[in-house]
């Protein structure tokens, strides 16, 4: 087993971002700004927000945080977003999910200026991703795409893992991970199969895959019976159990196999936050 060290790759990328921002500040006297919005007091969301604010401080991005009460109406969230849309110091806007009380977040996402949509979830940016012909086009046009999939692609590239022409099975079809990642893998010339809870013969599909991405939110769901030797395993799951944090892959079951795998924690998680910083820098540069 070979570990794909997301923490190490993330730290290297953060140094690169920090140096770019330092140079921009020397040249213009300005730095990128990220506004975060947290509705309610979800403990996990509070941890994520603190991590994102700390990461901003580490690389020199100015942080603007807004905490709203759990019973805040969608109309008031949108009013805040519209105010941030016009704030020249704010280059990126991040609304932390999930919203409390099962509120539908899409209306809020739609109200974010697409040029400040550092989560890459606005229909405009999703559309740009879907019509892009290649990864080079996505990078050259500074398209804002979803952070977790972007981090996964960066990890694979920095680990010298070739996916061109290879079969990739993506388990999970969420708008945050599964769908955008499938499009990004396609842009990198992988052959992509999207699987989900209704997929038949999932084990057989995975057994024939060169890359498996587990993003289903089921603790230790993928075990050695799904995997052949020399497969690349990307574990997106972060599940809190009585035994502690674990991924969607049963790590102990596969640890003796000849595979490349992202650990949990220390794999995809750090990359997600770093790509948020990268997207904020992109948004700043796009504005300029």
pLDDT number for residue 101: 83
- 70 Cβ contact partners less than 8 Å away, ≥ 6 residues apart: 39, 40, 41, 100, 101
Q: Are residues 179 and 97 located together in one domain of the fold?
A: no
DSSP 8-state secondary structure symbol assigned to residue 99? P
Domain range for 108: 29-115
| CATH number where 96 lies | 3.40.50.10860
pLDDT number for residue 241: 87
Number of domains in the chain: 2
Active-site entry in 5, 13, 14, 52: 52
pLDDT over 90 (residue 240): no
Q: Are residues 157 and 255 located together in one domain of the fold?
A: yes
CA distances from residue 250 to 103, 190, 233 in whole angstroms, order as listed: 33, 25, 11
Q: Are residues 166 and 231 located together in one domain of the fold?
A: yes
pLDDT number for residue 120: 97
| 26 classed as catalytic | no
Instruction: Judge residue 286's burial from the number of C-beta atoms within 10 Å of its C-beta, 0-12 exposed, 13-18 middle, 19 or more buried.
Output: middle
pLDDT over 90 (residue 284): yes
- Nearest in space to 239 (alpha carbons), one of 257, 261, 222: 222
Active-site entry in 13, 96, 116, 248: 96
- pTM for the model: 0.96
Using one digit for the tens of pLDDT, what is the confidence trace for 202-228?
999 999 999 999 999 999 999 999 999
Q: Are residues 164 and 241 located together in one domain of the fold?
A: yes
Q: What is the per-residue DSSP string for 189-229?
A: T-EEEEE-TT-SSHHHHHHT-SEEEE-S--TT-B-GGG--T
| 52 classed as catalytic | yes
Active-site entry in 5, 117, 119, 250: 119
Instruction: Judge residue 227's burial from the number of C-beta atoms within 10 Å of its C-beta, 0-12 exposed, 13-18 middle, 19 or more buried.
Output: buried
Q: Does 18 map to a domain? A: no
Q: How far, in whole angstroms, is CA 236 from its chain's centroid?
A: 9
Scanning the structure block, which residue is given the tokens 């700004």?
33
| 119 classed as catalytic | yes
pLDDT number for residue 102: 77
**CA-CA distance, 53 to 66, in Å (whole number)?**
11
């Amino acid at each position: 087993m070979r570990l794909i060290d997301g923490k190490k790759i993330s730290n290297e990328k953060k140094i690169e971002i920090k140096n770019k921002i330092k140079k921009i500040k020397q040249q213009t006297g300005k730095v990128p700004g990220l506004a975060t919005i947290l509705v309610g007091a979800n403990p996990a969301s509070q941890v994520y927000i603190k991590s994102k604010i700390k990461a901003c401080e580490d690389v020199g991005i100015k942080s603007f945080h807004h905490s709203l009460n759990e019973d805040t109406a969608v109309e008031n969230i949108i009013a805040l977003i519209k105010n941030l849309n016009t704030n020249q110091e704010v280059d990126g806007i991040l609304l932390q999910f999930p919203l409390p009380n099962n509120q539908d977040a899409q209306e809020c996402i739609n109200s974010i200026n697409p040029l400040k949509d550092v989560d890459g979830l606005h229909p405009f940016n999703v559309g740009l991703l879907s019509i892009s012909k290649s990864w080079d086009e996505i990078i050259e046009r500074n398209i804002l795409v979803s952070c977790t999939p972007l981090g996964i692609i960066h990890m694979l590239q920095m680990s010298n893992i070739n996916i061109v022409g290879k079969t990739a099975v993506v388990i999970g079809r969420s708008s945050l991970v599964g769908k955008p990642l499938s499009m990004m893998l396609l842009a990198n010339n992988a052959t992509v199969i999207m699987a989900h809870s209704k997929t038949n013969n999932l084990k057989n599909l995975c057994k024939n895959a060169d890359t498996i991405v587990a993003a289903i939110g089921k603790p230790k769901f993928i075990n050695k019976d799904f995997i052949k030797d020399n497969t690349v395993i990307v574990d997106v799951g972060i599940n809190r159990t009585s035994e502690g944090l674990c991924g969607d892959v049963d790590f102990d079951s596969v640890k003796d196999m000849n595979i490349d795998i992202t650990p949990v924690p220390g794999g995809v998680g750090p990359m997600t936050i770093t790509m948020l910083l990268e997207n904020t820098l992109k948004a700043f540069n796009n504005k300029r």
